[in-house]
Structure 1
Amino acid sequence: MPDESNFNTIDTDIPEIKDGEVLVRSVYISVDPYMRGRMSDAKSYAEPYKVGEPIIGGIVGQVMASKNTRFEVNSYVEGRMEWAEYNVSNGSNIRRLKPELAPVSTALHVLGMPGLTAYFGLLHIGQPKEGETVVISGASGAVGTIVGQIAKLKGCRVVGIAGSAEKCEFLTNELGFDAAINYKTTANLFEALKDACPNGVDIYFDNVGGSVTDNVMKLINFQSRIIICGQISQYNLDKPEMGPRVMDKLLKTSSLMKGFIVSDFAEHNKEGLVNLTKWVQEGKITYRENIVEGFENTIDAFLGLFRGENIGKQLVKVADE
């Protein structure tokens, strides 16, 4: 588990921009579980962060100075930039936002990477059908909340697994999940899942891994789809946790288990953003933001992800819009 001693905060001058560049003042900083994986030099889908260099992540910011004709001063942008109060960009790593469509902060969750992750994982891999049962672990997070709501739009029974009574009430009372299970207080998770999924599990959207997933796998149906999006229960372990082997279950049920990252579907980003924006504007998808104030609290907000402190999307508000 990382702690604050693994990070340094550095004061530098705000750089001057050159032709083709823009100066972006951070307004919201996204903290995400996947960043923990990039703090390891183990082989993965992305290069690890380099020790002594700034962390890169999702930022929504305002253009304060521009020598790039594509970006006007005071316009809002989103992109992958340094955890910093100000960034300089040549425009290749940012996109313009339209505040009239939705609050700019949504570009870091429901109308950004987490929303697209939910959209592609469930619809392109899971391919839900009306009447099927969808189970989501880490269901109260930025991705899980959107997965569940899309599944409901597709006519599925939706069961969420989360880590507190408050989170479970949010899933059922505010987001319309059919059932929610608090894995931390449930005496027998398998029995609770069996009660919540009387017809078994057709789609499992896994954000957590570990023993939670072991129990869900016992209930998968014929030709079920298991979508591996995250494994947050494993990220801070000294060595991998041992568990049941699932190949026999996959074989006997002719099921699919597939891992993915959102960039696998980059060619479909426009489709995903158009549909997600439409659903948000129509009120068919809602969201919650857990906002921590102050750039100096960015590290604590990130660490809070692994303490289970957030409901919905965890953001740091650096400056006023």
Structure 2
Amino acid sequence: MVKVRHWSRPQPFQAEVTEKDLKLVEEDISEDLQPGEVLLESVYLTVDPYMRVHGEPMGEHKTMFGEACLKVIRTRNGEFPLGTLALAFSGWRTHYLSKDGKDLRPIPFDLGSLSPSVTLGVLGMPGLTAYFGFRLLEPKAGEVCVVNGAAGAVGSIVGQLAKHKGLTVIGFAGSDEKCQWLTKELKFDYAFNYKKISLENALKTAAPKGVDVFFDNVGGEFFHQMITKHMAHGGRISICGSISNYNDTEKQKFPQINMDVLMNELTIRGFNILTYAKEFQTAWNEMVPLVKTGELKFKETVFDGFDKMPNAFVGLFKGENTGKAIVKASNYP
């Protein structure tokens, strides 16, 4: 028998997420597999802000929803030999039993010397989100780009893609250390600690003629100030997330933006990354070589041990991570 540990979400989240919202449960599953079955052990697991508002708990244990990179430890399926790495939306669990392998995805590119954790970060959902969300903005060299949550898993990639396209990049993050990383390592043109300077004062210096493209991870007051005060005529906005609102128990009210959108002829686009699933290979073809050569940089905040899942998740809403938050559940290889 294999002892499987799950992080369960017994009840829906209420207001601010805490570690007490999650419960550790255990079950035993047999190692005697049926034909076609694959037993895997989680190697890396992802925690992402969207898990606060999307994804229902899984199965009888109400296991938290989420993606993992797993290693095959027993198999009766020829497509997944022993030791193979695979990706699956298997949830927050130490082990996963696939009945036929159809819910497993081989890693879609050659890792080379890269850690398998990149499949959940810079070359996984966050990196793909940055790639397609930024593409929606139809960026042009010489334009001005603002990205908030800029030191996070998505924002840090967006800013670098914008620099590669020849834009002036302005990032907003929540600490001086994060801002230094953005300017010194990622070569953002400007990075501002939003806790120390207002959006208005920051953009007086960095974007006196307005902002052409805005990638929004934060929502709330930041989004509305950008729309009503700081976008250039013909500006484009991609809405990726709204982390400032995820813990709200009631919807906040803001001034109307209709006339600002109308008079400045703004384009505002929300997007779901799964819409672009058929084009993922296009993104990997471009991004994998850049990551391997170091032209596209990334940082991971790694939490060592499956027990750290709640701590890693709660920390997202307190700005404790730089780059991608990853939980390392077991040793690899």
Preserved CA contact (<8 Å) 2:25 2:61: no
Describe the superposition over 1:83-118 as per-residue Cα deviations: whole angstroms up to 9, x where unpaired. Answer: 111011232232223432632110001111000000
Is 1:288 the counterpart of 2:299? The answer is yes
Q: Structure 2: which amino acid aligns with 1:24?
A: L
Query: Which 4+ runs in 1 deviate beyond 4 A?
Result: none
Partner of 2:200: 190
Preserved CA contact (<8 Å) 2:301 2:322: yes
Is 1:3 the counterpart of 2:18? The answer is yes
Partner of 2:220: 210
Is 1:57 the counterpart of 2:66? The answer is yes
1:182-261 → structure 2 map (5 Å cutoff):
182-186=193-197, 188-217=198-227, 218-261=229-272
**Distance in 1 between residues matched to 2:30 and 2:297, nearest whole Å:** 38
**Distance in 1 between residues matched to 2:284 and 2:256, nearest whole Å:** 37
Is 1:300 the counterpart of 2:315? The answer is no
Preserved CA contact (<8 Å) 1:210 1:233: yes
Preserved CA contact (<8 Å) 1:193 1:216: no
Partner of 1:116: 128
Describe the superposition over 1:279-315 as per-residue Cα deviations: whole angstroms up to 9, x where unpaired. Answer: 1123220100000111111011100000110000001
Quote how far apart the aligned CAs of 1:249 are: 1.1
**Distance in 2 between residues matched to 1:92 and 1:203, nearest whole Å:** 40
Partner of 1:104: 116
Is 1:71 the counterpart of 2:86? The answer is no
- Summarize the Cα distance change of 1:14–1:99 in structure 2 as closer, same or farther, 3 Å threshold: farther
Normalising by structure 1, what TM-score?
0.93
- Summarize the Cα distance change of 1:194–1:94 in structure 2 as closer, same or farther, 3 Å threshold: farther
Preserved CA contact (<8 Å) 1:14 1:86: no
Over the matched positions of the two proteins, sequence identity in percent amounts to 40
Q: Number of residues paired by the alignment?
A: 311
Partner of 1:25: 41
Q: Structure 2: which amino acid aligns with 1:117?
A: T
1:113-152 → structure 2 map (5 Å cutoff):
113-123=125-135, 125-152=136-163
- Structure 1 unmatched ranges of 5 or more: 39-46
Partner of 1:35: 51
Q: Structure 1: which amino acid aligns with 2:64?
A: I
Q: Structure 2: which amino acid aligns with 1:93?
A: D
**CA-based RMSD:** 1.5
Describe the superposition over 1:177-200 as per-residue Cα deviations: whole angstroms up to 9, x where unpaired. Answer: 0001111111x3212122111331
**Distance in 1 between residues matched to 2:166 and 2:327, nearest whole Å:** 34
**Distance in 2 between residues matched to 1:267 and 1:117, nearest whole Å:** 14
- Structure 2 unmatched ranges of 5 or more: 1-15
**Distance in 1 between residues matched to 2:328 and 2:239, nearest whole Å:** 30
